[in-house]
């Protein structure tokens, strides 16, 4: 893979990938390739270090415990450094929530997020019985 | 038996009969609904005096129920629920239709298991697996496991037969003092990366073992195991399993069914022998001929099920991938992106079903050559080559193929 390849890190698909989210990363990589732009897709396992040098970080949706676990695994600041360096983070559903100041899990527990955005729950709603992303 | 239940049963029978003669359906659901309307306690009444096993899990309910029925039928008649009627209405209808069988095996839709268990007071429950399925309809799987966990904690008298390899199932089962653990296998692990008990990371080893970093929850020691095509029983005796139905996953289901049948005194040999002869399960794995080509039907409803079905697809056959998105399938087909269609690279597939375009897009991104065909019958003719065809279809598309091959 040449130096110029676009590096896409799919962050913790086994935690943040409940809603077909891995497809977003596959589509991004394939569309680059179809335009003759090299693309490298890295599936970041939950035991792996999130790469510092990716161009694009993709985060998807996940369940409450997985979402909380993802925050603790990202608490080393790797995404903050990426954003400071001008890299792009594409986050959906739970992936979006954990970038914010805080998010809701379970029956209404508020968990601190990564603080990369100002997103926070604004109104309490009893948690729905079914998945909602 | 109460007078009210007798009346409810008669009313349900009448409603079911009317539904049948007017051509509206098999009458199972409407009959059960009417019975429960007249007597809300009808399910418990219909179960009274019987020894029942309940089978639940995301995938393999119908197949495992059928395997267990075959095993228990070696000892006498067995009441059971077919046709996917696995809600309280269907269970009520099945039990009221058979007044004589003392033993029964019922498959139960996952979220309904506690309510059904409370009503029928089963002797055994068989817990197969839990994974993402119809996210617009079911709760998160961790919550489903919690519902099972609480149910088993409150009903310690139930004998639990559970898949030790699935952490969600194992955590639920751990609430019971009375469990037979079966190492039945688990290919799909993407819904149990976090420990269901404490939320920390679950680590897996190469032999199917797993352990939580946080609370130490780990795979229970199984007394029944699967190795290749063998089932190893609690005394260490190895039984060669030669099922007519395909798939490694079904060897695991056979092990679970054999472990449950042992509760009724059926030996592993007798149980597995009875299971071997089953050629197909309500159309699943059915081998037939259509348009001069041998056709095999495989059902898959969610990413875990598709992962298993893709393993069953034979390498040198024509291949059809059929997907609908009706209410019974789940309206949202985004799960197609969770299915590892990349394993089909180098092969040629037909994309069909009411969501054939979604399938075609998914196959295009997976790098799988394909054609798109609207009509299910045409799709078999369009399959690559002129020899056998494997049809992989989700729920309502699968029912469509059953009709296509039946009407041929």
pLDDT band for A129, please (50, 70, 90 cuts).
very low
Residue B77 contacts residue B69 (beta carbons within 8 Å): no
For residue A131, pLDDT beyond 60? no
Pick from A13, A15, A26: CB nearest B194:
A15
Highest mean pLDDT out of A17-21, B13-17, B164-168: B164-168
Cβ neighbours of A64 in B, within 8 Å: 140, 142
| Interface list for B 192-231 with A (CB within 8 A) | 193-196, 199-201, 203
A111 touches chain B (CB under 8 A): no
Q: Do B334 and A30 touch (CB under 8 A)?
A: no
A126 touches chain B (CB under 8 A): no
The predicted pLDDT at position B206 comes to 86
Q: What is the C-alpha end-to-end distance of chain A, expressed in Å?
A: 35
Question: How close A122 comes to chain B (CA, Å)?
Answer: 23
The tens digit of pLDDT for each residue in B76-92 reads: 999 999 988 999 999 99
Residue A41 contacts residue A10 (beta carbons within 8 Å): yes
Just give the CATH number of B41-276: 3.40.1190.10
A30 touches chain B (CB under 8 A): yes
| CA B128 – CA B349 distance, rounded (Å) | 31
Highest mean pLDDT out of A17-26, A111-120, B364-373: B364-373
Residues of chain B with CATH 3.90.190.20: 287-407
The predicted pLDDT at position A1 comes to 47
- Exposed/middle/buried for residue B371 (C-beta within 10 Å: 0-12, 13-18, 19+): middle
The predicted pLDDT at position B24 comes to 67
Mean pLDDT to the nearest integer, A20-36: 95
A42 touches chain B (CB under 8 A): no
Alpha-carbon torsion A19, A25, A31, A33, what sign?
A: negative
Pick from B194, B336, B362: CB nearest A66:
B194
Q: What is the C-alpha end-to-end distance of chain B, expressed in Å?
A: 47
For residue B369, pLDDT beyond 70? yes
To test the contact with chain A by mutation, choose from B111, B112, B130, B140 the residue with the greatest count of A C-beta atoms within 10 A, namely B140
B189 touches chain A (CB under 8 A): yes
Q: Do A63 and B142 touch (CB under 8 A)?
A: yes
Per-domain residue ranges for chain A?
6-112
ipTM over 0.95: no
The predicted pLDDT at position A125 comes to 55
Pick from A12, A68, A129: CB nearest B199:
A68
Residue B271 contacts residue B261 (beta carbons within 8 Å): yes
| CA A113 – CA A74 distance, rounded (Å) | 10
B345 touches chain A (CB under 8 A): no
Give the other-Cβ count within 10 Å of A77's Cβ. Answer: 11
To test the contact with chain B by mutation, choose from A13, A15, A16, A18 the residue with the greatest count of B C-beta atoms within 10 A, namely A18
Question: How close B78 comes to chain A (CA, Å)?
Answer: 35
Question: How close A90 comes to chain B (CA, Å)?
Answer: 17
Q: Do B334 and A23 touch (CB under 8 A)?
A: yes
| CA B333 – CA B324 distance, rounded (Å) | 8
Mean pLDDT to the nearest integer, A15-38: 94
The tens digit of pLDDT for each residue in B309-333 reads: 999 999 889 999 999 999 999 999 9
B397 touches chain A (CB under 8 A): no
- Give percent above pLDDT 90 in chain A: 74
B133 touches chain A (CB under 8 A): no
For residue B20, pLDDT beyond 90? no
* Structure token pair of residue B90: 């269907």
B135 touches chain A (CB under 8 A): yes
Question: How close A15 comes to chain B (CA, Å)?
Answer: 6
Which has more confidence, B213 or B145? B145
How far, rounded to the nearest angstrom, does the alpha carbon of residue B121 sit from its chain's CA centroid? 21
The predicted pLDDT at position A26 comes to 95
Compute the count of residue pairs across chains A and B with CB atoms less than 8 Å apart: 69
| CA A59 – CA A44 distance, rounded (Å) | 11
| CA A103 – CA A122 distance, rounded (Å) | 10
Cβ neighbours of B196 in A, within 8 Å: 65
B336 touches chain A (CB under 8 A): yes
Instruction: Name the closest residue on chain B to residue A12, using Cα atoms.
Output: B193
For residue B18, pLDDT beyond 90? no
The predicted pLDDT at position A2 comes to 52
Mean pLDDT to the nearest integer, B125-131: 97
Cβ neighbours of B331 in A, within 8 Å: none
Pick from A23, A46, A68: CB nearest B337:
A23
Q: Do A23 and B189 touch (CB under 8 A)?
A: no
The tens digit of pLDDT for each residue in A52-90 reads: 999 999 999 988 888 999 999 999 999 999 999 999 999
Mean pLDDT to the nearest integer, B378-406: 96
According to DSSP, the β-strands at A109-112 and A102-105 are antiparallel
Mean pLDDT to the nearest integer, B237-251: 95
The predicted pLDDT at position B7 comes to 86
pLDDT band for A123, please (50, 70, 90 cuts).
low
| CA B112 – CA A106 distance, rounded (Å) | 21
| CA B126 – CA A1 distance, rounded (Å) | 49
Instruction: Give the pTM.
Output: 0.90
- Give percent above pLDDT 90 in chain B: 81
Residue keyed to tokens 């077919």: B82
Radius of gyration of the CA atoms of chain A, in A: 15
B334 touches chain A (CB under 8 A): yes
The predicted pLDDT at position B83 comes to 86
For residue A126, pLDDT beyond 60? no
The tens digit of pLDDT for each residue in B283-313 reads: 999 999 999 999 999 999 999 999 999 999 9
| CA B77 – CA A50 distance, rounded (Å) | 58
Just give the CATH number of B287-407: 3.90.190.20
- Exposed/middle/buried for residue B360 (C-beta within 10 Å: 0-12, 13-18, 19+): buried
For residue B224, pLDDT beyond 60? yes
Pick from B139, B190, B365: CB nearest A129:
B139
The predicted pLDDT at position B11 comes to 87
Cβ neighbours of A63 in B, within 8 Å: 140-142, 194
Q: Do A14 and B365 touch (CB under 8 A)?
A: no
The tens digit of pLDDT for each residue in B26-54 reads: 677 788 888 888 888 999 999 999 999 99
Residue among B74, B3, B67, B70 nearest B39 (CA): B3
Provide CB contacts within 8 A for B227, sequence distance 6+.
B238
| CA A96 – CA B313 distance, rounded (Å) | 38
């Amino acid at each position: 893979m040449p130096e110029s390849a676009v590096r896409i890190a799919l962050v913790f698909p086994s935690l943040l990938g409940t809603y077909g989210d891995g497809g977003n990363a596959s589509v991004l990589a394939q569309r680059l390739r179809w335009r003759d732009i090299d693309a490298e897709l890295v599936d970041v396992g939950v035991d792996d270090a999130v790469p510092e040098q990716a161009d694009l970080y993709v985060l998807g949706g996940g369940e409450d415990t997985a979402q909380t676990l993802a925050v603790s695994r990202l608490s080393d600041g790797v995404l903050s450094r990426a954003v400071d360096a001008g890299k792009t983070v594409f986050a959906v559903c739970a992936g979006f929530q954990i970038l914010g100041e805080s998010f809701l899990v379970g029956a209404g527990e508020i968990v601190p997020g990564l603080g990369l955005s100002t997103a926070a729950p604004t109104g309490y709603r009893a948690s729905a019985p079914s998945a909602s992303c | 038996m109460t007078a009210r239940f007798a009346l409810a049963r008669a009313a349900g029978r009448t409603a079911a009969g009317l539904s049948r003669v007017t051509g509206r359906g098999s009458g199972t659901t409407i009959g059960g609904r009417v019975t429960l309307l007249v007597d809300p306690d009808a399910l418990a009444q219909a179960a009274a005096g019987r020894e029942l096993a309940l089978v639940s899990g995301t995938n393999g309910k119908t197949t495992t129920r059928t395997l267990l029925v075959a095993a228990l039928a070696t000892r006498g008649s067995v009441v059971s629920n077919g046709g996917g009627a696995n809600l309280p209405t269907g269970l009520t209808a099945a039990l009221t239709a058979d007044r004589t069988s003392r033993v029964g095996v019922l498959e139960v839709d996952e979220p309904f298991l506690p309510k059904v268990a409370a009503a029928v007071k089963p002797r055994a429950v068989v817990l197969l697996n839990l994974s993402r399925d119809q996210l617009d309809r079911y709760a998160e799987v961790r919550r489903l496991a919690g519902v099972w966990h609480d149910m088993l904690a409150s009903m310690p008298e139930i004998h639990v037969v559970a898949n030790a390899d699935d952490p969600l199932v194992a955590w639920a089962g751990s609430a019971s003092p009375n469990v037979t653990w079966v190492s039945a296998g688990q290919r799909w692990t993407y819904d149990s990366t976090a420990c269901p008990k404490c939320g920390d990371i679950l680590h897996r080893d190469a032999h199917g073992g797993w352990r939580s970093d946080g609370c130490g929850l780990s795979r229970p020691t199984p007394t029944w195991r699967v190795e290749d095509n063998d089932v190893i029983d609690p005394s260490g005796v190895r039984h060669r399993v030669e099922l007519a139905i395909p798939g490694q996953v079904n060897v695991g289901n056979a092990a679970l069914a054999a472990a449950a049948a042992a509760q009724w005194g059926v030996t592993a040999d007798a149980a597995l022998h009875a299971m071997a002869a089953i050629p197909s399960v309500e159309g699943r794995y059915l081998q037939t001929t259509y348009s001069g080509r041998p056709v095999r039907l495989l059902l898959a409803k969610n990413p875990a099920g598709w992962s298993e079905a893709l393993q069953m697809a034979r390498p040198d056959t024509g291949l059809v991938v059929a997907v609908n998105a009706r209410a019974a399938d789940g309206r949202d087909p985004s799960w197609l992106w969770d299915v590892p269609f990349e394993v089909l690279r180098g092969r040629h597939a037909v994309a069909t079903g009411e969501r054939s375009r979604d399938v075609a897009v998914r196959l295009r991104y997976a790098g799988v050559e394909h054609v798109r065909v609207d009509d299910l019958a045409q799709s078999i003719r369009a399959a690559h080559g002129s020899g056998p065809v494997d049809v992989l279809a989700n729920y309502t598309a699968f029912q469509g193929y059953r009709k296509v091959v039946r009407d041929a």
